[in-house]
Chains A and B, each alone.
Chain A
Amino acid sequence: MKIKIFRWRAIGPLLVLFVIAGVLWWLFADTIARHESQKVGTQMLGARVEINNLHLDIANGKVLMRGLTIASPHEAFKNLLQADEIVADLDVVPLTEKKIIINRIAANGLRFGTPRQTDGRVAAKSGEGIAGRVLAETRAWASQFQIPVLQLATGKISIDSLDPRRLSTIPAATALSARADSARRAWQAAFDSLRLGQTLDSASAALERLRHARATDLATLNEARQELDRLKRARDRVTSLERGVKTGVAELQGGLAGLDSARRRDYAFARSLLKLPSFDAPEIGAALFAPGAIKPFERVLYYAQLARRYMPPGLLPRATTGPGRLRRAGEDVRFPKEHALPAFLLRSAELSFLLHPTSEQPQQYAGRLTGLTSDPALYGRPTDFRASGPQFGAGALVNHVRSIPVDTAGATVGGIRLPAFEIPGVPLRLDPGAATTQLGFTLNGDTIQARFAIRSTNVRWTRDSGGGFTNTTIGDLIWRTVSGISNLDVEARISGALHHPDLAVRSNLDQAIASRLRAVLGEQVAAAEKQVRDRVDALIKDKVGPVRARVNEVLTQAQAQVAQQRARLDDLQTQLEQRLRELTRIRLP
């Protein structure tokens, strides 16, 4: 019996099924697109993305979005931005290649930093996906700036707790002593292996015989020449040994210098046990403001690193986390191709936004974003963002067109009211009032240059009851110093290699606090520092003195031994050569 391959009568029901699927898609496309946009946006930014309403008009290539809210990835109950309405003009044909090309976006009613009811952070809590990894990396980066809070000595200064086992000079001295002994033994062994005594005795005997020989005594002359050769070879061996000794001497002398360094480290360690205050203005600036100043850098770096992950330079395949589903998400690999369209491109966006949205007269600003793309190498131009208005200017250039990405951003916001914050380590709360903030950021390859500054002319100080020095003399002193200062000028700079940059923080308060502290605590601190040094010296003296003497003795002995033997060799060689010249000189009748 012949079996039919096709079930032709099933075509009708199948078509009906596909039509039903099409109708369902048409009915629920907006909802599906809204859910997908929220899901992808949340996954990419590491913070909840919410859209109240989204309408797809594929026929006309338009997308209308209302009520967009993007939570802050860093702050629990704060939004990064909200938008009343966003209208996008799409290219429809690239959608068949799963590529999203947006010719123009008009965004109205953008607001930044608005409060929210629920915690919108996702990456910070889960740590998953690219955003989670980048967030963890930037947190680790920020945590490398271990800024000690301002430490002030209280009560009686005592260093009885100084444990000799924690001093680095003592183990360094022990190690140096062992090295000196080892070097001495090695040199002695090397010296013995030269067997110079035998050579010298033999050469002396030959010289003696040569003194009584005549010019015709060829055997004695030859023997003397052979001895001379032996002497020269022995001299070469001594020269070689001398080089080794010189190297060893330099190492041991370096060890002696290392003992001095170790002692300085021990002074610093012992000083740290006392928690003596630093009177250096830069250190005071860092202690007061660095913890707060690092946050803006950390956040900008987060977005810069995200941009580098989602907008990498070059045309190599790129893997990103796949779509979330019940099954394993896997990874989506993109394959950019030269002269083809990028997977995502926003050609131009016109932004209209509000600053100070909660004030009585919110100010409206405008901005423009161009060339935001997933494949900068295909688009060929950097992403550019500019916005300006009264007391406000911001710009960013994300240039991933070439192999070394360069990200720059800058912003100046004037008249913005910053929240009051506690100053770590001291019982003070600072309300900067309406301040001008500036941020400059450049990440060129792996080199970072960044600057953050706050300027205010009407700061207010509050005495915080929770500080460690609330009712102490020091607390009173600092309070009296800063409470009369109404200007605030803080500047933080980061520069150098991204993995290990330098941080410098200065403020107009540093010098004032430093000089007041120095005036009140200077003598006490100087006496304590001397006590610290004396105590360390007493603990290490018994160990370091003998080691230093032992090393010097070994050095002297080795150098003297080499010099002495070398002198004997030279002397014998000279005498032999002279006598040979005398005997072999041709005397004309």
Chain B
Amino acid sequence: MFALIKLIQSLFGALHSEGTPGQLAAGIVLGSFLGLTPLFNLHNALIFAALVLLNVSFAGGLLGWALFVPVGFLLDPLFDWIGHSLLLAPSLRGLWTSLYNTPIIPLTNFNNTVVLGSLVFALLAAVPLFFVIRWAVVRYRATVGERVRQSRFYRAVMASKVYNVYKMFRP
């Protein structure tokens, strides 16, 4: 329940933040990398660093992460298949062999079918996802955004921050 409230908070926080739709969309796209690919991998450290260092919505990043984790679990068989096809493609064997025998690169676990498959999927999905989210945020803010901000539901959800602060400091 708490996680759900946090997710809804993140969603509204991001949608009603001062960031531009592009910043929010870029944050969600970077967060989708964290959610779609297995978390504890070297490339995700780079993604996280980008999320922090680039002027994109950090809240959007967390939202994207939270939203795409279940998608990642759901699409794991597809990622496995993509990774398997790529890693065992005879035409790419030379590339993978070079990468596998290069320092540092193997630490990214690129040679795992799910890691490579999910990363390739996330990369391919990034651009369309960015434009779809940016369009959706623009439409949201132009249509129902202000009404939501004035609603009691919105106030109730955002007010639960008090509870968060209490949780942070409780013994």
Task: Give A residues with C-beta under 8 Å from B.
Answer: 3-7, 10-11, 13-14, 17, 96-99, 317, 319, 322-323, 325-337, 340
The answer on a CB contact under 8 Å between B101 and A337 is yes
The answer on a CB contact under 8 Å between A327 and B55 is no
The answer on a CB contact under 8 Å between B20 and A3 is yes
Contacts of A334 in B (CB 8 A): 100, 111
Q: Which of A3, A10, A317, A319 is in CB contact (< 8 Å) with B53?
A: A10
Contacts of B109 in A (CB 8 A): 332
The answer on a CB contact under 8 Å between B111 and A335 is yes
Contact with A along B104-138 (1 / 0, CB 8 A): 10110101111101000000000000000000000
Q: Which of B38, B53, B83, B84 is in CB contact (< 8 Å) with A327?
A: B38
From residue B60, how far is it (CB to closest CB) to chain A in Å? 14
The answer on a CB contact under 8 Å between B97 and A6 is no
Contact with A along B17-49 (1 / 0, CB 8 A): 000100100000000000000100000000001
Contacts of A14 in B (CB 8 A): 49, 52-53
Task: Give B residues with C-beta under 8 Å from A.
Answer: 20, 23, 38, 49, 52-55, 72-73, 76-77, 79-80, 83-84, 87-88, 93, 96-104, 106-107, 109, 111-115, 117
Contacts of B97 in A (CB 8 A): 317, 335-337
B contact face: mostly helix, strand, loop, or mixed = helix
Contacts of B113 in A (CB 8 A): 319, 322, 330-333
Contacts of A11 in B (CB 8 A): 53
From residue B134, how far is it (CB to closest CB) to chain A in Å? 14
Q: Roughly how many angstroms separate A330 CA and B99 CA in the complex, as a whole number?
A: 19
Which chain B residue lies CB-closest to A98?
A: B106
The answer on a CB contact under 8 Å between A96 and B93 is no
From residue A378, how far is it (CB to closest CB) to chain B in Å? 11
Which chain A residue lies CB-closest to B103?
A: A96
Contacts of A331 in B (CB 8 A): 80, 83-84, 112-113
Q: Which of A4, A326, A333, A340 is in CB contact (< 8 Å) with B87?
A: A333
The answer on a CB contact under 8 Å between A325 and B23 is no
From residue A374, how far is it (CB to closest CB) to chain B in Å? 13
Given the known inter-chain contacts A11-B53, A330-B115, A333-B87, please indicate yes or no for A97 contacting B101, CB distance below 8 A: yes
From residue B23, how far is it (CB to closest CB) to chain A in Å? 7
A contact face: mostly helix, strand, loop, or mixed = loop
Q: Roughly how many angstroms separate A5 CA and B83 CA in the complex, as a whole number?
A: 33
The answer on a CB contact under 8 Å between B55 and A333 is no
Q: Roughly how many angstroms separate A154 CA and B102 CA in the complex, as a whole number?
A: 74
Q: Roughly how many angstroms separate A325 CA and B93 CA in the complex, as a whole number?
A: 27
Contacts of A335 in B (CB 8 A): 93, 96-97, 99-101, 111
Given the known inter-chain contacts A4-B55, A332-B111, please indicate yes or no for A97 contacting B106, CB distance below 8 A: yes
Q: Roughly how many angstroms separate A413 CA and B117 CA in the complex, as a whole number?
A: 51
Contacts of A337 in B (CB 8 A): 97-98, 100-101
The answer on a CB contact under 8 Å between A317 and B52 is no
The answer on a CB contact under 8 Å between B55 and A3 is yes
Q: Which of B88, B101, B112 is in CB contact (< 8 Å) with A330?
A: B112
Q: Roughly how many angstroms separate A263 CA and B22 CA in the complex, as a whole number?
A: 88
Q: Roughly how many angstroms separate A330 CA and B98 CA in the complex, as a whole number?
A: 21
Contacts of A336 in B (CB 8 A): 97
Which chain A residue lies CB-closest to B100?
A: A335
Q: Roughly how many angstroms separate A325 CA and B20 CA in the complex, as a whole number?
A: 37
Q: Roughly how many angstroms separate A10 CA and B51 CA in the complex, as a whole number?
A: 10
From residue B86, how far is it (CB to closest CB) to chain A in Å? 10
The answer on a CB contact under 8 Å between A330 and B52 is no
The answer on a CB contact under 8 Å between B83 and A330 is yes
The answer on a CB contact under 8 Å between B88 and A333 is yes
From residue A164, how far is it (CB to closest CB) to chain B in Å? 56
The answer on a CB contact under 8 Å between B93 and A332 is no
Given the known inter-chain contacts A97-B101, A98-B106, A325-B38, please indicate yes or no for A6 contacting B93, CB distance below 8 A: no
The answer on a CB contact under 8 Å between A317 and B93 is yes
Q: Roughly how many angstroms separate A336 CA and B106 CA in the complex, as a whole number?
A: 12
Q: Roughly how many angstroms separate A4 CA and B55 CA in the complex, as a whole number?
A: 6
The answer on a CB contact under 8 Å between B111 and A333 is yes
The answer on a CB contact under 8 Å between B101 and A340 is yes
From residue A90, how far is it (CB to closest CB) to chain B in Å? 16
Q: Roughly how many angstroms separate A17 CA and B38 CA in the complex, as a whole number?
A: 20
Which chain A residue lies CB-closest to B108?
A: A98
